[in-house]
């Protein structure tokens, strides 16, 4: 007989409305969403009075560095940080060492995650110029990742011929890091004595727009599902507002939506360096408007940790990327507290849309019959982000020193509690299933 769990007294964010309700869980699934007066007997209960219950967050772009770079992060520490942040599922990128470009590398990652992940997991297969058979045949992946411009790692597919071959063969979703490599190289030549403040000129809006245009063109030509990762420029927003066919979806990061240059570089130095770069306020504001208008479909973190020692190197030697999986939800709930977003929008951008975009079975929504992946948050809790409280192995956050409003109290994965007020329990995370 399945174990039952009743969460009562809370406010539940469902796809239709935010309402006072109780949630009855049987085994791994949500059995019923009940009226506040309906409190059936259950094996375990949790009093959520004064708290808000959201669908578990799906962070659809993380780099957990496992294998090969585990001194920065691994699947255990990354998933633990995710659980603390209310993230119940993650999709992990292929630029590890070795890169996830073979069936064996993918199988090894899945095996490792099955042993150590606190939350649900899925992986991308990385495209190269010569692994077309692999990317279309490996089982159960979130999609194919293409680096159209060089970033962290050695995965790069930048020739029109190679890109055309990938887009015209197969049916899987293609997710792109869209920066044009030729433009990046030309800009580096212009800024030979570059400083951090040249970063967003070197990795220019032109580089992003040119690559995004090419990806959309190929998507339309071959009617291929395309997901544009970490959109960063107002030029791309303007283009997509007129050129976004049904099979194209778009995401942005909290960093690009909420931070701006040059002030973030003055405040945080190379900690704020990422690819594509954080740009000026006009870009930030255009991205937020695009999110509200639905041009941008969803939010993911691009959690890309490096050590403080690595980030302390001078510009040109410091790696690009920053952590974010455990602060994603509090950062966005703070926007709710400020009146800039609603709880319905947070659930949509951080859970529902990622599940739809990646065709993840029975997750992303608080619905009867769906897996019991949820996060219970205290919308009134204010907490200043402190380095010593970061669970990610890298031990720092771009949001350090900021007071955020709205923090996870409890995270549940497949009906099991994986995080509760600083305490963790391993054993509930599972491999996600992607419909193809």
Q: Kindly list the catalytic residues.
A: 302
Indicate the helix (H) or strand (E) that contains 74: none
| CA distance linking residue 408 with residue 416, whole number of Å | 15
Please, which residues have CB within 8 angstroms of residue 313's CB and are 6 or more apart in sequence?
270
Q: Which residue has the tokens 């690559």?
A: 211
Give the number of other Cβ atoms within 10 Å of residue 427's Cβ: 10
User: Tokens representing 291?
Assistant: 């999110």
Question: CB atoms < 10 A from the CB of 222, how many?
Answer: 17
Q: Residues 116-143, buried b or exposed e (16+ Cβ, 10 A)?
A: bbbbbbbbbbbbbeebbebbeebeebbb
Secondary structure of 13-55 as H, E, C letters? ECCCCEEEEEEEEECCEEEEEECCCCCCCCCEEEECCCCEEEE
Report the phi/psi class of residue 74: left, alpha or beta, with left for phi > 0 and alpha for psi in -120 to 50: beta
Q: Which residues contact 158 (CB under 8 A, 6 or more apart)?
A: 148, 149, 150, 180, 181, 182
Burial per residue of 1-40, b for 16 or more beta-carbon CB atoms within 10 angstroms, e otherwise: eeebbbbbbbbbbbeeebeebbbbbbebbbbebbeeeeee
């Amino acid at each position: 007989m399945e174990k039952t769990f009743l969460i009562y007294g809370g406010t539940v964010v469902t796809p239709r409305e935010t309402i006072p309700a109780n949630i009855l869980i049987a085994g791994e699934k949500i059995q019923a969403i009940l009226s506040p007066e309906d409190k059936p007997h259950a094996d375990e209960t949790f009093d959520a009075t004064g708290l808000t219950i959201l669908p578990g967050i799906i962070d659809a772009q993380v780099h957990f560095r496992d294998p090969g770079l585990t001194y920065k992060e691994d699947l255990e520490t990354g998933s633990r940080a995710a659980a603390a942040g209310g993230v119940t599922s993650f999709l992990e990128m292929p630029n590890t060492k070795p890169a996830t470009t073979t069936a064996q590398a993918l199988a090894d990652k899945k095996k490792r995650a099955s042993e150590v992940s606190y939350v649900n997991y899925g992986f991308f297969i990385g495209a190269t110029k010569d692994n077309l058979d692999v990317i279309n045949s490996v089982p159960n992946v979130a999609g194919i990742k293409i680096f159209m411009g060089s970033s962290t790692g050695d995965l790069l597919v930048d020739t029109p011929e190679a890109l055309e071959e990938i887009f015209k063969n197969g049916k899987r979703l293609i997710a792109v890091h869209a920066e044009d490599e030729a433009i990046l190289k030309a800009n580096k030549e212009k800024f030979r004595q570059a400083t951090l403040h040249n970063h967003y000129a070197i990795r220019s809006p032109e580089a992003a727009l040119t690559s995004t245009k090419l990806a959309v063109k190929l998507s339309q030509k071959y009617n291929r599902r395309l997901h544009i990762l970490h959109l960063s420029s107002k030029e791309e927003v303007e283009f997509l507002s007129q050129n976004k066919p049904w099979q194209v979806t778009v995401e942005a990061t909290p960093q690009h939506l909420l931070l701006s240059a040059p002030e973030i570089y003055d405040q945080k130095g190379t900690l704020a360096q990422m690819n594509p770069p954080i740009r000026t306020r006009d870009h930030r504001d255009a991205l937020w408007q695009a999110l509200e208008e639905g041009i941008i479909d969803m939010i993911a973190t691009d959690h890309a940790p490096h050590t403080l020692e690595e980030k302390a190197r001078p510009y040109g030697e410091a790696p690009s990327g920053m952590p974010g999986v455990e602060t994603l939800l509090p950062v966005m709930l703070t926007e709710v507290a400020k009146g800039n977003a609603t709880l319905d929008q947070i659930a949509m951008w951080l859970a529902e849309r990622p599940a739809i975009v990646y065709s993840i079975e029975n997750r992303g929504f608080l619905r009867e019959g769906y897996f019991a992946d949820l996060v219970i948050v205290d919308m009134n809790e204010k907490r200043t982000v402190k380095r010593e409280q970061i669970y990610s192995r890298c031990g720092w956050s771009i949001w350090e020193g900021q007071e955020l409003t709205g923090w996870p109290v409890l995270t549940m994965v497949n009906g099991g509690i994986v995080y509760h007020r600083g305490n963790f329990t391993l054993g509930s995370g599972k491999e996600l299933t992607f419909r193809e």
